[in-house]
Amino acid sequence: MTYLKDRLEAVEERILRAVGRSGRKREEITLVAVTKVFPAQAIVDAYALGLRHFGENYVQEFDAKLDAVKHLGGARFHLIGHLQSNKARRAAEIFHTIQTVNRSKLARRLNEAGRTLEVMLEVKLSEEETKTGVAPEDLPGLIEVVRACSNLKLTGLMTMPPWSDDPEQARPYFRRLCEIAARNGIGGLSMGMSHDFEVAIEEGATHIRVGTALFGERKGR
Ligand SMILES: *Cc1c(COP(=O)(O)O)cnc(C)c1O
């Protein structure tokens, strides 16, 4: 917990410096604490330190933590990992925001679950095989489908640039996502992780997804 408090302070300082450099305001940025692989207690501890937004990658993993965290008033849970259509219904029940909507079928499944949900569309901007997400040329069609879904509230775009140790390598991807969002009248931008969130903030991020810098290295995945 003391580690977490220190790490959170360090992350907040990094956010403030990036916000200062880019002439933005701290309130424009939502820190999403990524708790995948860590036990439910990590969410409870982070909540006690004032964090309210949490990101998880797997429906089943978060489902197993749900009992331990569902009493946390005002906590918002974001799915930030790939979502299979057959898990959409459950995801709609346990998450507030699905950041990884990447196809019409998934949007329709989420809509059919009947619960009001915030969604972000995951955009694939790199050629890497492993990256899921909608291709920029298919985005307008997906936006149209999502906007026609009465239970879905489209709040943003999300992306993952190709991995690089050098955060500057991510900058063109972040910039491109920002341009695409502006062109489509979308306000939210979920981009930036532990090692590159300053660059993401400089390029307009509204949501940064931070795991390692808060909770330490993950074992395994
Ligand atoms: C794991 C993960 C993160 C957090 O990554 P860190 O480098 O640990 O901050 C952010 N976004 C997504 C989609 C992830 O899967």
- 98, β-bridge pairs: 79, 119
Which amino acids bring their CB within 6 angstroms of ligand 1? 34, 36, 57, 80-81, 160, 193-194, 209-213
Give pLDDT tens digits for 204-215. Answer: 999 999 999 999
Any domain includes 25? yes
- The dihedral region occupied by 192, where left means phi > 0, alpha psi between -120 and 50, and beta the remainder, is left
Give pLDDT tens digits for 9-26. Answer: 999 999 999 999 999 999
The CA 5 to ligand 1 mean position distance, Å, reads 19
Question: Among the atoms of ligand 1, which is closest to the Cα of residue 212?
Answer: 8
pTM: 0.97
Any domain includes 220? no
- For residues 100 and 151, give the distance between their C-alpha atoms in angstroms, rounded to a whole number: 16
CATH number at residue 183: 3.20.20.10
Any domain includes 207? yes
Contact 120, 190 (CB under 8 A): yes
**Which residue owns the Cα nearest ligand 1 atom 13?**
80
CA distances from 150 to 110, 117, 145, 146 (A): 11, 10, 10, 8
Any domain includes 12? yes
Q: Taking the chain, what is the end-to-end CA distance rounded to the nearest angstrom?
A: 23
- For residues 158 and 30, give the distance between their C-alpha atoms in angstroms, rounded to a whole number: 13
The angle formed by the CA atoms of residues 67, 221 and 7, to the nearest 5 degrees, is 70
- For residues 192 and 203, give the distance between their C-alpha atoms in angstroms, rounded to a whole number: 10
Number of domains in the chain: 1
Any domain includes 210? yes
Domain, as residue range, for 159: 2-215
The CA 206 to ligand 1 mean position distance, Å, reads 16
Give pLDDT tens digits for 176-188. Answer: 999 999 999 999 9
| DSSP per position, 33-82 | EE-TTS-HHHHHHHHHTT--EEEES-HHHHHHHHHHHTT-TT-EEEE-S-
**Residue 1: pLDDT band with limits 50, 70, 90:** low
pLDDT beyond 90 at 135: yes
Give pLDDT tens digits for 35-56. Answer: 999 999 999 999 999 999 999 9
- 122, β-bridge pairs: 158
Q: Which helix (H) or strand (E) holds 141?
A: helix 139-147
- Report pLDDT for 131: 72
Contact 165, 195 (CB under 8 A): yes
**Residue 220: pLDDT band with limits 50, 70, 90:** low
The CA 148 to ligand 1 mean position distance, Å, reads 30
Any domain includes 109? yes
Contacts (Cβ under 8 Å, ≥6 apart) of 6 = none
Give the residue-averaged pLDDT of 101-124: 98
